[in-house]
A and B are shown apart, each in its own frame.
Chain A
C-alpha cells in the first residue's frame, strides 16, 4: 500500500509533503528526459534507418533516392567489409580475453590481506581514468622502435610493433588490455569480496585443494559479475575506434568502426554508412543477447 502511495500521482504523497508534488516531478524531470531521449536518440535512430535504404550522400545537395536493400546487399557482399568484421572479431577475442585474465588475476591477488591494498587498488585503476587519445599517444611513444621503452626493456632492438601488419592489432589489443583490465579487476573484486567466507572454511575443513576451491567455489560465485564485465567489455571492444585510429593506420587494424567512420565522414556515403551502422548494431545486439542468455543460465545454477 505504501508503495502504491509513493508511485501514484497523488498530490498528497510524501514528495508533496516535502513541497513538490509527483505531477510536478513528472512534468519537470521525467517528461523532459523522455522528450530529450526521443529527440536525440530515438528520432535519429529511426531517421538513419530510413537513410540506410537510400543512396543519400550528405556532401551533395542531391535528394535521397530509395534503393531498397541495395546498400545492405552490397555491404554484405563486400569482401573488405567482411575483412573489417574479421579484424574486429579477432580484436574483441584477444582484447577481452586478455582483460579477463589480467583483471581477474589481479583481483585474486588483491583479494587477500596485503599492505597498502587500498592505495594499490587505486593506482591500478588509473589507466581506465585516462583519456583514450592520451593513452593512444602515450603508447605510441612506448612502442616506438627507435626510442620506445618497451623494446628497450624487452631487449627487442628495433622491433616494429605498429608498422608491422602482423603485430599492429596485437599492439592495439595490449594497450586496450592495459587500459581496461582494471575495470574487470574492480568488478571481480566486488564479486570476490561477496563470496561467503564460511564456504572457504568448509572447503578447508574438507581439505579441498586450491584448484578445487577455485573451480567449485570462487569461479561459480563470481561468474555472474564477471559475465557482466565481459558483456560491457565486448560491446566496447566491438565499437573500438580511438585507440586503433590513433596508434596505427594499418589495414590490418581497420576495425569496423574505423571503416564506418571513413565511409560516413571521408567518403560521405551517408546512406551506405547508415546501413553498415545498422548491421553493426544488429551484430552487437545479437552478441549481447547470447551473453545475457548465458548470464541468466549462470545465475540459475
Chain B
C-alpha cells in the first residue's frame, strides 16, 4: 500500500513538474489583426526552432484591440505574456501597473542608442523625459502616402495640370500642392476621386489623419509636460491645418466618412483615388500584385511639408511590453533579449516588420528593399504622437466628437471646433489634477 501511495505521489509530482515545464515553454503575444502580426508569428517560429519555446501571436481586430487588451489587464489575467500595445497606452498601462518596468533592461542593452530616437520616445518612455521605459520598440510605423504613378505621369494630365496650376504635376512636396492635385484629379463623373484620407472616428483614425496636417503646419496638440492646451490646440496654425483637412475631404470618394486603413488601400487597388493616406505597415499589400492590380504603377511619398516648410507625420506602430500578470515573465524577457539582437531585427525587417533598430533602418540594404522604405526611414525621424497620458481615451473621444462633424459635414468652423476641444481637454486634465 505504501509503495502504491509513493508511486502515486511520484506520478503526480512528475505530472506537476512536466506541467510547469510545459507552461514555461510557451509564450503568448497579443496584438491586433494585421500583416505585421503575421510577420511576427513567422519570426517567433524561428525563435521556437532555435530555443524550443513556442511563441503564439494571438490577434484580434483593430476595433476590439484596446477593449480586449485592457479588459484582460483589468482582470489581472495571465492569458497573454506580452502585448504589442499602442503608443498611447503606455501612460494608462504603466500607471495602473499592467506593464513590467523595462528600465533596467533598457540600460543593460543600451536600447536608447540601439533603437531610433523617436521610437524610444513614443513607444517606450513614460512619463516624457523620465528615462523610465515600459516597452521595447517593436513595430515602427508612421503615416505616409501612396499615389497612382500612371495618373501622375500621363502626358495629357501633366500638361493639363501645368496649364491650370502653373507648376509640374509630381508627388506633392507641400500640403498646398496636395490640395491642388486632389482637386485636379477629383472627377466624380468618371468615378475618379482626388484623395483618400482617414475619417473613421471609432478609434484614432481621424485623429491621426488630422495630426498629419497639424504637425506639418507647425502646430502641436498641447504641452505634454505642463498639460497646457489652450492657445496650442486651438492655435492659428492648427485652425489652418484643420480647414485644409476639411477641404481635402471634399475630394474623397463618396461615402468616405468612415474610412481607415482598409478603405484607403482600396482607394488605390480599386482605381478610386489619385493619392491615399495610410500607415507604412499597410504598404506591402500595395506592392504585391496579388493584392493590388495596380502594384506596378503605385508610388509612395512621405507626408508633405506645411506652409512654413515643417514636415512631420503622425506616429503609428507599437512597442512590445511584458504584462505584469504573466506567469512567464522570465521567459518573456529572454524572448525580448533575442528580439533586440541585430540579426533578429534584420530578419524582422526582411519578413516585412518595420524594425525600430537605428542600425538596420540606416542600412542601404533596408532603404532599398522596397519602394517605400526610404520614405519610411525619413519619416521615422520626424514623427509626433498623441497624448500618452492615462486619460488618452477620453481625450481621443473628445477630439473625435469635436472634429468629426466639422470634417465630414462642415458643421461649425475650425476655430469654434478647436476652441471647444481646448475647453474639453482643459476640463479633463483638471478633473485628473494634471494642469494645476
In the complex, whether B405 has a CB less than 8 A from a CB of chain A is yes
How far, in Å, is B416 (CB) from chain A's closest CB?
Answer: 15
Q: Of A158, A251, A266, A268, which one neighbours B405 at CB under 8 angstroms?
A: A251
Q: Give A62 to B97 CA distance when docked, in angstroms.
A: 10
**Is the beta-carbon distance between A160 and B405 smaller than 8 angstroms?**
no
**Is the beta-carbon distance between A269 and B411 smaller than 8 angstroms?**
no
**Is the beta-carbon distance between A262 and B258 smaller than 8 angstroms?**
no
Q: Of B96, B397, B409, which one neighbours A266 at CB under 8 angstroms?
A: B397
Residues of B within 8 A of A288 (CB): none
**Is the beta-carbon distance between A59 and B70 smaller than 8 angstroms?**
yes
Q: Give A80 to B405 CA distance when docked, in angstroms.
A: 14
Residues of A within 8 A of B95 (CB): 60
Residues of A within 8 A of B92 (CB): 59-60, 268
**Is the beta-carbon distance between B397 and A262 smaller than 8 angstroms?**
yes
**Is the beta-carbon distance between B390 and A249 smaller than 8 angstroms?**
no
In the complex, whether A82 has a CB less than 8 A from a CB of chain B is no
Residues 64-119 of A at the B interface (beta carbon under 8 Å): 80
Q: Give A247 to B201 CA distance when docked, in angstroms.
A: 13
Q: Which of B42-50, B129-137, B226-234, B248-256 contacts A (4 or more CB under 8 A)?
A: B248-256
**Is the beta-carbon distance between B258 and A162 smaller than 8 angstroms?**
yes
Size category, B interface: 20 to 34
Residues 228-277 of A at the B interface (beta carbon under 8 Å): 248-251, 262, 265-269
Cβ proximity bits B58-72 to A, threshold 8 Å, 1 near / 0 not: 000000001100110
**Is the beta-carbon distance between A265 and B71 smaller than 8 angstroms?**
yes
Q: Of B74, B254, B256, B401, which one neighbours A59 at CB under 8 angstroms?
A: B74
Q: Give A80 to B66 CA distance when docked, in angstroms.
A: 23
In the complex, whether B394 has a CB less than 8 A from a CB of chain A is yes
Among residues of A, the one whose C-beta sits closest to the C-beta of B201 is A249
Assess A80 versus B401: contact at CB under 8 Å? Given A160-B254, A163-B255, A163-B258: yes
How far, in Å, is B51 (CB) from chain A's closest CB?
Answer: 33
Cβ proximity bits B257-295 to A, threshold 8 Å, 1 near / 0 not: 110000000000000000000000000000000000000
Residues 62-86 of B at the A interface (beta carbon under 8 Å): 66-67, 70-71, 73-74
Residues of A within 8 A of B73 (CB): 59
Q: Give A162 to B201 CA distance when docked, in angstroms.
A: 14
**Is the beta-carbon distance between B394 and A269 smaller than 8 angstroms?**
yes
Interface residues on chain A, number (Cβ under 8 Å): 25
Assess A251 versus B393: contact at CB under 8 Å? Given A162-B255, A163-B256: no
Residues of A within 8 A of B66 (CB): 266
**Is the beta-carbon distance between B258 and A249 smaller than 8 angstroms?**
yes
Residues of A within 8 A of B393 (CB): 266-268
Residues of A within 8 A of B70 (CB): 58-59, 265, 268
Residues of B within 8 A of A160 (CB): 254-255, 257
Assess A265 versus B67: contact at CB under 8 Å? Given A61-B96, A158-B254, A162-B258: yes
How far, in Å, is B422 (CB) from chain A's closest CB?
Answer: 16
Q: Give A145 to B70 CA distance when docked, in angstroms.
A: 36
Residues 162-183 of A at the B interface (beta carbon under 8 Å): 162-165
Assess A248 versus B390: contact at CB under 8 Å? Given A61-B96, A265-B71: no
Q: Give A59 to B75 CA distance when docked, in angstroms.
A: 9
Q: Give A265 to B74 CA distance when docked, in angstroms.
A: 11
Q: Give A251 to B404 CA distance when docked, in angstroms.
A: 8
**Is the beta-carbon distance between A165 and B96 smaller than 8 angstroms?**
no
**Is the beta-carbon distance between B255 and A145 smaller than 8 angstroms?**
yes
Among residues of B, the one whose C-beta sits closest to the C-beta of A158 is B254
In the complex, whether A146 has a CB less than 8 A from a CB of chain B is yes
Among residues of A, the one whose C-beta sits closest to the C-beta of B410 is A165
Assess A59 versus B96: contact at CB under 8 Å? Given A160-B254, A160-B255, A265-B67: yes
Residues of B within 8 A of A249 (CB): 200-202, 257-258, 404
Could you say which of A145, A162, A249 has the most chain B C-beta atoms within 10 Å of its C-beta?
Answer: A249
A sample of 26 inter-chain contacts (CB < 8 A) reads A59-B73, A60-B96, A60-B390, A61-B96, A80-B401, A144-B255, A146-B254, A146-B255, A158-B188, A160-B254, A163-B255, A163-B257, A163-B408, A165-B409, A249-B201, A249-B202, A249-B257, A249-B258, A249-B404, A250-B404, A251-B405, A265-B71, A266-B397, A267-B394, A268-B70, A268-B393
Q: Which residues of B contact A (CB under 8 A)?
A: 66-67, 70-71, 73-74, 92, 95-97, 188, 191, 200-202, 253-258, 390-391, 393-394, 397, 401, 404-405, 408-409, 411
Q: Which 3 A-B pairs have the closest CB atoms?
A: A163-B257, A145-B254, A145-B255
Q: Which residues of A contact B (CB under 8 A)?
A: 58-62, 80, 144-146, 158, 160, 162-165, 248-251, 262, 265-269
Q: Knowing that A251-B405, A265-B70 touch, tell me 14 more A-B residue pairs with CB under 8 angstroms.
A: A59-B390, A60-B96, A60-B390, A61-B97, A158-B254, A160-B254, A160-B257, A162-B255, A163-B255, A163-B258, A165-B408, A249-B200, A249-B257, A265-B71
